[in-house]
Structure 1
Amino acid sequence: MAEHPHDLLSIRDLKQVASPTPEPARIHAQVEACHIKETSNGKPYHELRLSDGSESLTWRVFDSNPLFAQVADLKRSDWIELSAQWVDTGKYGLDPRSAELSALTDDEIATLLHGDPTTSARQRSDFDDILRLTDSIVDPRLHALCQIFFQQHSDRFKRAAAAREYHHARRGGLVEHVAQMMRCAVKIIEAYPQLNRDLLIAGVLFHDCGKLWENNYPEQGFNMPFSIHGEMLGHIPLGLELVNKLWRQLLEQPEAAAWTTLEPANELVRLHLLHLIGSHHGEYQFGSPVLPKTPEAIVLHHVDNIDAKMEMFRRAYETGNELGHGIHERVRPLPANVVTPLAPFQTEP
C-alpha cells in the first residue's frame, strides 16, 4: 500500500479528536455488517458497521458518493483502510468526507488483530493482574480450579467480550472487566475482612465464564458470531456447566485425594462458587436463576454492576454527543444523560 499522509488512528482515538471541523485521518477496520437501505425518498444507500477491536462506527454511503459502487463490492469480514477528512456531525456521528478506500495487506491485518498499542498494553497488564490475584488464592481447590481454567481456556478468555453491546463490548473486554472487578473486590475485602477472599476472587474469574461461548470472537476477526449454545442457554447456565466440568477434572487429579478431610468440604466449596455464578445478576428478571444469599454473592453482584456502569460512563464521556456544556447524551442502558464529574479539589502548590 502506498504511503499516505494522513495519520493512522484507532476508531476510539478518532472519536476523541473528531469535531465539526474536518480532521484528516485514516483507520484500519473490518467490515462487521453491510446492508442496503433506502432513504425516505426511496434512494438506496449502503450502511456499514466498521470495527477495529477498540470501537465501532457506522458509515453510510449514499448514491451520490463516488465510492458507492466500490462499497457495493464489500462483504462482511472484509478488511479495509478508510482515509478521509472526518467530521463529527453530532446526531449522525462521524462522517468521512473525500474518502479513499483500499484493502489491507496481510501484515496490516495481523497488526490490527494484535490490537492498538494502548488497548493491547492495558489488556496484557489486566491479564497479569488476574494471574497474580488468582495465584494468591490459598484454598488448594479453588487455586487448582483457576489453573485448570487458564490451561484450557486462556486464548478463548483473552478474545471474549464482556457483552455484545453495553459494556466492554470489544475483543478482550472480558479480561478488562474481570481484572477491574478483582482489583475492586480485594479492596472491599480490606474493608470487610470477614468475606471469604479466596471464594470471591474465584467467583469474579468464573462469574462470566459462559461468555467464552456466548460473546466470543473468532481468532481472525472482530465479527462476533452468534452461538447456538449462547442463544439457547445463555452465559449463566454455560458458566455453571463449565465449572462443574472443571471441578470433575479437578477431583480426578492425584492431589485431590488429600482434600477429602479439608474444611470446608469440597462439595460445599463447589456449591458456594456455583451460587456466585448463578446469582451474580442479582434479580430473577435479569436472568439469575437464584438470588444472592451470601455476603460474597452480594459483593460480587454489586462489583459487577459498578464496573459495568463505570465503563458506560467512560464511553458516554468519550463518544456521546455533547448536548450542552458538561452534559453528554445518554448511552444505553444508563437511565439519563450524563454530566461531567466534579474534578478533585486541588490545593495550592
Structure 2
Amino acid sequence: MLDDICVTINDIKENLKPGEKFKAVGVLTSARLKRDKNDQPYWDLAVMDASGTLNVKAWSDTKWWDARLGEKKALDQDQLAEIERISRQPVGILGVVTKFKQKLQYHVNQIYLLSADKYPPESFMEKSPVPIEQMERDFWAIVDSCGEPVRTLLHDFFDDEMWERFKVAPAAVKNHHAYVHGLIEHTLDVTKASRAIGSIYLNKGLKIDMDILTAGALLHDIGKLNAYSIDLAPQITLQGAVIDHIPLGYFTFMEFAKRFNFDENVILAIGHIIISHHGKKEYGSPVLPSTPEALIVSAADELDFLVYCWNSTPPADELSLSEYNGVAQRRFWKS
C-alpha cells in the first residue's frame, strides 16, 4: 500500500474535501472500540505523524492487515481484539473524507500494521514548526537582555537539567501547542507579546517593570513540566490532573527562590504572575492579576491560545467559518 506517495496528516486536514481519498503513514496513538446508534461496533482511532494528529473511524467493513513481517495477512478477530492494547504501533491507512452534520470526518477502509524497525514510531512525533535552534537563541537573548537580579535568577532557574526538560516539553495535551517543543514555542510567543505590550505602556509613562514582566512571562507555564509528560503524544500526569499546572508552577518557582537571596518583592511579583496568569478564577487561577505585569502576561497568554486555535482550525462551510470551538467558545472566521 506504500508504493504510491502518501500525504501528511496536515495535508489531509487542510487540503482534502469530502469525497477525496487519502493514503498516509503514521503511528496509532489510541484505539477505542465503540458502538453507533444502531449498536454496531466501530473503531475510533487517532493516528499521528510529524505534522499533526488525525481522528479517524474504522467501520465493520474496514479491512485490517498485519504487514509487520513484510507479507500482509488479514487480522483475525482475536488479533483485532488486542488493538486497544497496542501502543506505539506504526500504521498505514487508506481512507476517504466525508461530511456528517456539517463536520468533516475521516473514514478508513484499510489499515496496515507496519514494522517498527522500518517505520520507527519516534519519527512520527509531532514537533513545533519553529526550529528549536532558533527558539533557543531567542530565549537566551531575551534572558540576557534583563538586568540584575532577574538575569541571574533566570540563568540559575534554567540550569542544564531544567533546560533539557523545558525545551522538549509540550504546552498542553490538546487544544494548543500539544507537541514536542510546544512549551518553549508558546512561552516565547507570550513573552515577546508581553514585552511589546509592556513597552507601549512604559513609553506612555506607566510604571512597568520590564524585567519582572519578562521573567513572569518566561516562567508562567513552568508547572507544565510536572503536569504533562510526552511519549509519542502529550499526556497528563497524576499531579497535573489533581493539582494542575498553575499551583505546580508557583510551588516550583517559590521553592527554587528559597535557596537564593533574591529580593522578596521581586520573587512575590513573579510568583503573582505565575499564579494569576489564567486571568479568571473560573479559568483556574486562584487569584486574579493585580499588577500591570500580571495583567499583561495574562492577556498575552490568552491571545496566543486564541490565535493558535484560529490558525489550526480549518473552515467548515461556504462562509469560511470553522466548526464551533468549545474551548475558545466561538467559531473562527477563516477568510
* Deviation string, structure 1 residues 86-130 (Cα, Å, up to 9, x no partner): 4253625222345544233266334334x56xx354444233322
Matches within 5 A, 1:167-182: 167-182=176-191
Q: Given the alignment, which residue of 102, 113, 120 partners 2:114?
A: 102
* 2:68 aligned partner: none
Q: Give the counterpart of 1:276 among 264, 273, 277.
A: 273
**How far has the Cα of 1:142 moved from its partner?**
4.5
Match of 1:248 in 2: 258
Provide the rounded CA distance (Å) in 2 between the counterparts of 1:332 and 1:123: 31
Q: Equivalent residues in 2 for 1:117-266 (5 A)?
A: 119-193=128-202, 194-218=207-231, 221-222=232-233, 224-249=234-259, 251=260, 266=263
Are 1:323 and 2:332 matched, yes or no?
no
Distance 1:155 1:94, change over 3 A: farther
- 1:17 matched to 2:15? The reply is yes
The within-5 A match list for 1:334-345 is 334-341=328-335
Partner of 1:294: 291
Cα root mean square deviation, aligned = 2.5
Counterpart-to-counterpart distance in 2, 1:42 and 1:282: 44
Task: Please state whether the residue corresponding to 1:66 is helix, strand or coil.
Answer: strand
Q: Does the 8 Å CA contact 1:160/1:212 hold for their aligned counterparts? A: yes
Structure 1 residues 99 and 326: alpha-carbon distance in aligned structure 2, compared to 1, 3 A threshold: same
SS of the counterpart of 1:63?
strand
Q: Which amino acid aligns with 1:15?
A: K
Q: CA contact under 8 A between 1:36 and 1:44: conserved in structure 2?
A: yes
Corresponding residue for 1:346?
Answer: none
The more displaced of 209-218 and 298-307 is 209-218
Structure 2 Cα separation of the partners of residues 156 and 49 of structure 1: 26
1:57 aligns with 2:51: no
Contact 2:173 2:236 (C-alpha < 8 Å) held by counterparts: no
Amino acid at match of 2:139: I
The 1:72/1:155 distance shift into structure 2, 3 A limit, reads farther
The Cα shift of 1:276 comes to 0.5
In the alignment, the residues of structure 1 paired with residue 167 and residue 143 of structure 2 have an alpha-carbon distance, to the nearest angstrom, of 16
Q: For the residues of structure 2 that align with 1:46 and 1:340, how far apart are their CA atoms?
A: 31
Q: 1:153 to 1:56 in 2, by over 3 A?
A: same
Residue from 29, 38, 42 that aligns with 2:39: 42
**Matched position secondary structure for 2:97:** strand
| 1:297-312 matched pairs, under 5 angstroms | 297-312=294-309
Number of positions where the alignment pairs a residue of Structure 1 with one of Structure 2:
316
More displaced 10-residue stretch of structure 1: 235-244 or 57-66: 57-66
Aligned to 2:3: 4
In structure 2, C-alpha distance between the alignment counterparts of 1:301 and 1:121, rounded to whole Å: 23
1:27-50, CA deviations, whole angstroms, 9 ceiling, x for partnerless residues?
222x32222212222222222222
Is the 1:292–1:298 Cα contact (8 Å) retained in structure 2?
Answer: yes
CA contact (8 A) 1:89 1:95 kept: no
- Paired residue type of 1:238: L
- For residues 106 and 212 of structure 1, the distance between their equivalents in structure 2, rounded to whole angstroms, comes to 32
Closer/same/farther in 2, CA of residues 110 and 23 from structure 1, 3 Å limit: same
Cα distance in 2, alignment partners of residues 217 and 302 from structure 1:
27
* Higher helix proportion: 1
Please, which moves more after superposition, 148-157 or 267-276? 148-157
Superposition TM-score, scaled by structure 2 size: 0.84
Kept in 2: contact 1:160–1:172 (CA 8 A): yes
Name the SS of the counterpart of 2:94 in structure 1: strand
Q: Secondary structure at the match of 2:92?
A: strand
User: Is the Cα–Cα contact under 8 Å of residues 320 and 333 in structure 2 kept in the other structure?
Assistant: yes
Aligned-pair identity (%)? 24
Separation (CA, whole Å) in 2 of partners of 1:205 and 1:71: 46
1:179 counterpart letter in structure 2: L
- Which secondary structure does the structure 2 equivalent of 1:270 belong to? helix
